Structure 1
Amino acid sequence: MTDPDVLIVGAGPAGLTLAIELARRGVPYRLVDAGPGPFPGSRGKGLQPRTLEVFEDLGVLDAVFAAGSPYPPIRAYRGDTVLYEGRMAPERAVTPHLPYPNVWMLPQTRTVRILTDRLRELGGTVEYDTAVVGFDQDDDAVRAELGSGETITARYLVGTDGGRSTVRAGLGVGFLGETREAERSIVADLPVAGLDREHWHFWGDGPATGIGLCPLGGTDLFQLQAPLLGGETPTPDTAGVRALFAERAGVALDLGEVVWASVWRANIRMVDRYRVGRVLLAGDAAHVHSPAGGQGLNTSIQDAYNLGWKLAGVLAGGPEPLLDSYQHERLPVAAGVLGISTALHDKGLAGDRDALRRDDPELAQLTLGYPDSPLSVTDLDLPARSAAPPTRPASTCRPARWHPPAPAGRATVPPGRVTGRRMRRAGTPRARRCGCSTSSPGRTRRSWRSAPDRSRRRARASWCGGWCVPASRRETR
């Protein structure tokens, strides 16, 4: 088999997104995964608006909408008595500048299936049961040894192999943070008979002690979630899940056979760098989060989306600073997201009454931008918002592409141009503080300062380690 330009290790959402990005640009790659097949559980189930924009560009959005559902409202009980009903966040209206305003529910298993199908359409495949057991690199290439004894030589290697990443371990990259052994939860996918699928059902006195059943959009399953209290150690199987539900909820429901289950512990960590030479990290290999707020899977997909076009550009002869910008842009995002999800996790543990609120616009990840990136435009003047044309932002600020310089003597300007520190698209006005993300369908918007509440800022700052983007320099809507 011919050696690829890029070897991708790990075929979860991040690895598949990266493979799609490379495949549609004609970059030779191999995507390998140590597991026997796709991950079977719905570890992540919420797709944020920014990720929906990414999926539109990848050509999978119609399939995503067909396979999932909107998030249902919460219904909280004590026994059989309904105590509360409402949404975690108000539904936002679709507008020309906000085409996908609300979070969309899609179990991770279906997200992986859709991305795999898209990769197959592009002529790609996943090599399962294929573990990378070691690698080394020099200035020209990376050589990776597979468990089968095969050696692959690639120009770049990307580790998208999850929180226990063998690639990260092989690099010796620091994984900063903490594992809270005492803070554990159980999550399980299973059918439930006789329970309506129009609500996310909760029993108990709050998220710190209760138990929930959420209908998984596009399936006939529910996802059970519950924190484990004190010395509880249920087995993550059908008998253990049924016993825990009966004890915690105090109601009799017909829970079917568990399809997938896991005991989760609070692992809150991120790398201190995304790149060592020709080896890069993305997704859970670079950061692991509390599931609170639905940020981890989305951040992973956007890591890979950011990296894909930059790798393709450099491999096509683009300047090395293009690839350097990946860490510069994504490391602060991971730090900020880690702070947000940890703050929400801690609210739940503390039993805060608003622990399940999800109306913070930062959770939609639409406020993300890279104003301090080496690639960001710094000398553009955008018209006032009221004067902006009524076109979709994704059509006026498409994902960046690198194009080789035009031959000498040609006056034409390529559709997108990247030099050492500046990017500008042909036909666009110059603007200061462009909010357009250079890694995703961005939004053309003016910069203005926000004042996030201090508790959230402190929580984020405790994780950023100097990487957090100050509020005064972050693009907001």
Structure 2
Amino acid sequence: MTEDDAIDVLICGAGAAGLTLAIDLARRGVSFRLIEKMDDPFRGSRGKGIQPRTLEVFEDLGIVDKIAASGGYYPHQREYHGDGSVKDVALVEACEPVPSEPYGMPLLVPQFLTEGAMRERLAELGHAPELGCALVGFEQDGQGVTARLASGGEEQTIRASYLVGTDGGRSFVRQALAIGFPGKTLGVRAIVADVTLTGLSRDVWHRFNEGSMETQISFCPLVEEGSFQLQGPVPLEGDIDLSAEGLTALTAERTGRTDIIIQSVSWASAFNMNARLADSYRVGRVFLAGDAAHTHPPTGGQGLNTSVQDAYNLGWKLAAVLSGAPETLLDSYEEERRPIAASMLGLATRLLEDMKRGDLRRGREVRQLDIGYPGSSLSLEEPQRQTRILAGNRAPDALLKGAAGQPARLFDLFKGPHWTLLEFEVETVPVKSRKGLHIHSIGQGGDLSDNEHRFRDTYEVAPGDRILVRPDGYVGAIVSQGDVAALEAYLHDVGLKTRTTAKR
């Protein structure tokens, strides 16, 4: 092993979190390896709910349209009652998109298709997961991590500046670090299976015996013709027959119908629901993200989304530190993301209790649009504001017009690995330009106009205000006309330093 063999980041686990991190690092030019101990990609539908905030992340990563093409909106749920009556209800509260929130509704996309689109995007950037490659040991020091990898019966040792464990609920990385994973088993065991069947229509999500944790069973139509995701609680102990014949028998027992025939099973799992949160997300140069850091019950569709957003938060910070930003920037990862996971665990657990009572409905709280970091050390306001949009909040979209006359959407300006500074009718000393910062002037003589006041009203800004948007789409700083020095200091502290002109 030589210094030339060293990489910046080793990512262990090629699920949604690992793929998100890999895509983000790839577009930033950071060297990495993405390893996965399984020989084949995950092929189940398990994490099928893609929330609006995650769709915004996927837009930035360049895959939102492919993701949307792989699925659709949640169908209504058809509840079958014991007296033979049925009732169709909306499982997801309707919410139309608005200019500030372009994705109003979650999408239903089987997890294997989401991850497939992510692997395609990673391939476009010149990378691929290394399947059948396991992390079997590692040590760290002040300069990096020495890791041992096993693949094809052989071992190799590599050197990385950082290691990120995105290797699931049974994380080898977390266990090797001896990080506690407290929480509880929720007393619910369930099956989930991808099946083809006959006897049910594909226009609704069929649910029998809702509210019963002994006899409930549901069938959610997936994108492939004839394919459904079968779900239902099962006894805490004992073997479960997950064959087509076994699931057909279970279906008949719980529905009282013999016309629903499971023809094939492409993937199936029986699992105990847990709610657990790692005591720490970081030990030195090793980090946890995704299910390695938190496990959720599936109610509410929060697990995959929270995992993607972990990686989206961590990626730009790793890249910044590798490019010379202070190491302390990485402390903000756990500071920002661990409280979010704690909140999402509480939400998913409450929704599980609702499901037990037969009252599972999903409103705005699951869409993750209101998640933010207002108390973060990376959130600056000068002076303090009493408005809807504060430092640490998600940066909303808005439609402006470019000086050349074409529509200009804020999300298009944010897209990419850079920071974005929006200056609203600023007439004072300009902020110094630097690599990694895109500056846009809004108002008279600027490159953008806000004649219909969409930006002003959405962000509640006054002339002279500057809005700094982080690479992950959250507001980093809001400063008024006279606080340029505070903004310059903030930019320096996150690694956006001005370049001095070299003397001849």
TM tier, smaller: 0.7 to 0.9
Deviations 1:217-265 (A, max 9, x none): 3564100000114656422222221221111111121211111101010
Asked whether the equivalents of residues 159 and 285 of structure 1 are also in contact (C-alpha less than 8 Å), the reply is yes
Instruction: Report the alpha carbon displacement of residue 438 of structure 1 after superposing the two structures with TM.
Output: 4.2
Instruction: Report the alpha carbon displacement of residue 216 of structure 1 after superposing the two structures with TM.
Output: 1.4
1:142 counterpart = 2:174:
no
Give the structure 2 partner of residue 27 of structure 1: 30
Match of 1:284 among 291, 313, 317: 291
1:7 counterpart = 2:10:
yes
1:99 counterpart = 2:119:
no
More strand by share: 2
Asked whether the equivalents of residues 379 and 430 of structure 1 are also in contact (C-alpha less than 8 Å), the reply is no
Counterparts of 1:316 and 1:202, CA distance in 2: 52
Give, as a single letter, the amino acid of the residue that structure 2 aligns with 1:241: L
Report the secondary structure of 1:20's partner residue: helix
Counterparts of 1:321 and 1:300, CA distance in 2: 22
Q: Please report the TM-score for the alignment, with normalisation by the length of structure 2.
A: 0.78
Give the structure 2 partner of residue 462 of structure 1: none
Cα gap change, 1:384 to 1:344, in 2 (>3 Å): closer
Give the structure 2 partner of residue 210 of structure 1: 216
Counterparts of 2:415 and 2:461, CA distance in 1: 16
Cα gap change, 1:435 to 1:218, in 2 (>3 Å): farther
Counterparts of 2:210 and 2:99, CA distance in 1: 41
Give the structure 2 partner of residue 412 of structure 1: 432
Report the secondary structure of 2:40's partner residue: coil
Equivalent positions of 1:85-234 (< 5 A) are: 85-147=88-150, 148-180=154-186, 182-206=187-211, 208=213, 209-217=215-223, 220-229=226-235, 233-234=239-240
Give, as a single letter, the amino acid of the residue that structure 2 aligns with 1:183: V
Asked whether the equivalents of residues 192 and 222 of structure 1 are also in contact (C-alpha less than 8 Å), the reply is yes
Report the secondary structure of 2:133's partner residue: coil
Q: What's the RMSD between the two structures over aligned residues?
A: 3.1
Report the secondary structure of 2:273's partner residue: strand
Asked whether the equivalents of residues 67 and 218 of structure 1 are also in contact (C-alpha less than 8 Å), the reply is no
Give the structure 2 partner of residue 440 of structure 1: 472
1:339 counterpart = 2:329:
no
Asked whether the equivalents of residues 380 and 477 of structure 2 are also in contact (C-alpha less than 8 Å), the reply is no
Asked whether the equivalents of residues 414 and 426 of structure 1 are also in contact (C-alpha less than 8 Å), the reply is no
Counterparts of 2:128 and 2:330, CA distance in 1: 25
Give, as a single letter, the amino acid of the residue that structure 2 aligns with 1:375: L
Counterparts of 2:222 and 2:52, CA distance in 1: 18
Give, as a single letter, the amino acid of the residue that structure 1 aligns with 2:362: R
Asked whether the equivalents of residues 369 and 435 of structure 1 are also in contact (C-alpha less than 8 Å), the reply is no
Asked whether the equivalents of residues 199 and 215 of structure 1 are also in contact (C-alpha less than 8 Å), the reply is yes
Asked whether the equivalents of residues 379 and 476 of structure 2 are also in contact (C-alpha less than 8 Å), the reply is no
Asked whether the equivalents of residues 191 and 221 of structure 1 are also in contact (C-alpha less than 8 Å), the reply is yes
Asked whether the equivalents of residues 290 and 342 of structure 1 are also in contact (C-alpha less than 8 Å), the reply is yes
Whose Rg is larger?
A: 2
Q: How many residues align?
A: 428
Give, as a single letter, the amino acid of the residue that structure 1 aligns with 2:254: R
Counterparts of 1:214 and 1:58, CA distance in 2: 28
Q: Which runs of 5+ in 2 are unaligned?
A: 390-396, 401-408, 421-429, 443-458, 479-504
Report the secondary structure of 1:131's partner residue: strand
Counterparts of 2:84 and 2:477, CA distance in 1: 47
Give the structure 2 partner of residue 455 of structure 1: none
Equivalent positions of 1:231-246 (< 5 A) are: 233-246=239-252
Instruction: Report the alpha carbon displacement of residue 195 of structure 1 after superposing the two structures with TM.
Output: 2.0
Give the structure 2 partner of residue 458 of structure 1: none
Counterparts of 1:444 and 1:199, CA distance in 2: 42
Q: Please report the TM-score for the alignment, with normalisation by the length of structure 1.
A: 0.82
Give, as a single letter, the amino acid of the residue that structure 2 aligns with 1:162: G
Asked whether the equivalents of residues 27 and 417 of structure 2 are also in contact (C-alpha less than 8 Å), the reply is no
Report the secondary structure of 1:81's partner residue: coil
Counterparts of 1:430 and 1:72, CA distance in 2: 37
Cα gap change, 1:435 to 1:250, in 2 (>3 Å): farther
Equivalent positions of 1:466-477 (< 5 A) are: none
Counterparts of 1:443 and 1:71, CA distance in 2: 31
Give, as a single letter, the amino acid of the residue that structure 2 aligns with 1:334: A
Equivalent positions of 1:61-76 (< 5 A) are: 61-76=64-79
